[in-house]
Structures are given as structure tokens and as C-alpha cells.
Amino acid sequence: MELLKLENLCKSFGAIKVADDVCLSLNQGEAVGIIGPNGAGKSSLFNLIGGNLRPDRGELHYDGKRITHCSPQQRCHRGIGRTYQIPQPFAMMTVFENCLTASAFGKGITEHHSYQNCAEVLERTGLVDKANHLAGSLTLLERKRLEVARALSSSPHLLLLDEIAGGLTENETGELVQLIRNIHASGTTVLWIEHVVNALIAAVNRLIVIHFGAIILDGEPRAVMASDEVKRIYLGIEGIGIGRNRTVGA
């Protein structure tokens, strides 16, 4: 079942195109990774999906309904949750209070009815022992976990992860990958931007490459990483010409 559909999505800032006629379909239950060089348009794509940016042209559909002009809050209420590259929790609130706020406002339910939901989320993300600690006292890995926990507190059907593994050690990244796997296994659809490619390949079943705001590859992760296009973009190795929206290993 198709959960998210982007149709000819375009967004420019002056002469810079951050989304260049992007067409993307995401089915319910998928785990999809997105890679691309710095400035390729990856985070801008998330901002378009989440509602922080409005497209110049094109349409977005979620769960069969048009959401092109919906606000970020409306999209969150409909089931789109996201994390950010740099965690920005409410530092002087506890971990539990951070999740409670996300649940009450992101899910649109009362504080009282959010309690059980938040307790379950903290258990899932390995933060239950930190529930009463101030968010500002957490380690980087714990703040990353809290970023995921806050997103999960709104009970999303689609979870957007924006470079959640950045800055972590190899062991910490492994812990985070297992958390994402568990979230996906529970039925949540995952769309994950990441520079730590090994983490992506360990958790997703499809990989998309974005370059200059356009999708240039979409396919099985290892086939995508072995392609001439990826070698050219990341390593400067000349290979075959780059083609838009090309499918690899399909």
C-alpha cells in the first residue's frame, strides 16, 4: 500500500535547486535510505515532506490524501514524525516531560492519556532509566535516542530520520541501528538520511541517491553503492553518464 507519494516536486532558492522535479513513492512498511553529498538537497526534501518548506511546484500525497498545503502540525497529526540532525530537546525539562510534550502536541491528545504512550516509548528507546533526568544532562547517544523517542511519541506511521547517527562511535552507531531495526519491525515506515552508509545498509531495504536536488538512483542498497554514478559523485571516478530516477537492481 502506497503511504507517501511525491509528484514532480520542485523547490529553488534563487538559482539553487534543492528539489528538481522529484518523483518518489514510498510503500507502507518500507525502510528506505537516502544518501548524497553535502548540499545535495536531502534535508530540504525532508523539510518539504514535513511541511517546513512549501514547494514551488508539484504535489505531495500521504495515505491517499493531498497534503501539499498542510502545516507541519497537521502532517504530524496525520502520522508523519521526524528527527533533526542536531538534537534540540527542552534541556531544562526531564526526558519524560520532553516525550510528554511531543505526545500531547504532536498526537493531539490530553496529557493524561499521553502518560502510558510515553512510558512505552522510553522503554522501546532504552531511556526508561533516564526518565526523570534533565534532557540537558544526557550524553550524545542518549540525546539521539531522545530525538527518536520524541518523534515516536506522536505515534507516527512514517518516521523521517535526518542523520541520526552523526557524531557517534562505531559501537554507538550499532546500538542505534538496532533501535531503528526494531522500530521498523514494529510496523513503522522509515525514511532515513545518513552519511554513515554502513548504518543505512544494515537497516534499509532500498537506497536512494540525491544529487543537485534530483533523484539519480533508486534500488537495492548494495547495487546502488556499487554503481558508477555513486563512484563518480563521491570519489570523482568517471563512469557512465548520470541518468535521472534510474532504478538499480530492480
- For residue 176, what are the domain limits? 2-79+159-248
For residues 182 and 241, membership in a common domain is answered with yes
Task: Pick the closest to residue 102 from 87, 91, 117, 92 (CA basis).
Answer: 117
Q: List C-alpha distances in Å: 225 to 33, 207, 210, 222, 237.
A: 12, 9, 13, 5, 13
For the CA atoms of 68, 32, 181, 114, the dihedral, rounded to the nearest 10 degrees, stands at 0
Q: How far apart are CA 218 and CA 223, in angstroms?
A: 10
Predicted local confidence at residue 91, as pLDDT:
96
Residue 31 sits in a domain whose CATH number is 3.40.50.300
Q: How far apart are CA 16 and CA 212, in angstroms?
A: 9
Predicted local confidence at residue 246, as pLDDT:
52
For residues 72 and 168, membership in a common domain is answered with yes
For residues 168 and 244, membership in a common domain is answered with yes
Predicted local confidence at residue 146, as pLDDT:
98
Predicted local confidence at residue 170, as pLDDT:
93
For residues 11 and 71, membership in a common domain is answered with yes
Predicted local confidence at residue 250, as pLDDT:
41
Among the three residues 130, 155, 180, which one is the final residue of a domain in this structure? 155
Among the three residues 129, 155, 181, which one is the final residue of a domain in this structure? 155
Alpha helices in 28-139 (DSSP H): 42-50, 72-78, 95-106, 111-124
pLDDT (tens place) for every residue of the chain, 250 residues total: 999 999 999 999 999 999 999 999 999 999 999 999 988 999 999 999 999 999 999 999 999 999 999 999 999 999 999 999 999 899 999 999 999 999 988 887 777 778 999 999 999 999 999 999 999 999 999 999 999 999 999 999 999 999 999 999 999 999 999 999 999 999 999 999 999 999 999 999 999 999 999 999 999 999 999 998 888 887 664 443 434 555 544 4
What sign results for the dihedral spanned by CA atoms 40, 42, 44, 48? positive
For residues 111 and 149, membership in a common domain is answered with yes
Residue 192 maps to a domain: yes
Q: Per the structure, how many domains does the chain have?
A: 2
Global pTM? 0.91
For residues 164 and 233, membership in a common domain is answered with yes
Residue 214 maps to a domain: yes
- 21 within 8 A of 70, measured Cβ to Cβ: no
For residues 236 and 174, membership in a common domain is answered with yes
Residue 84 maps to a domain: no
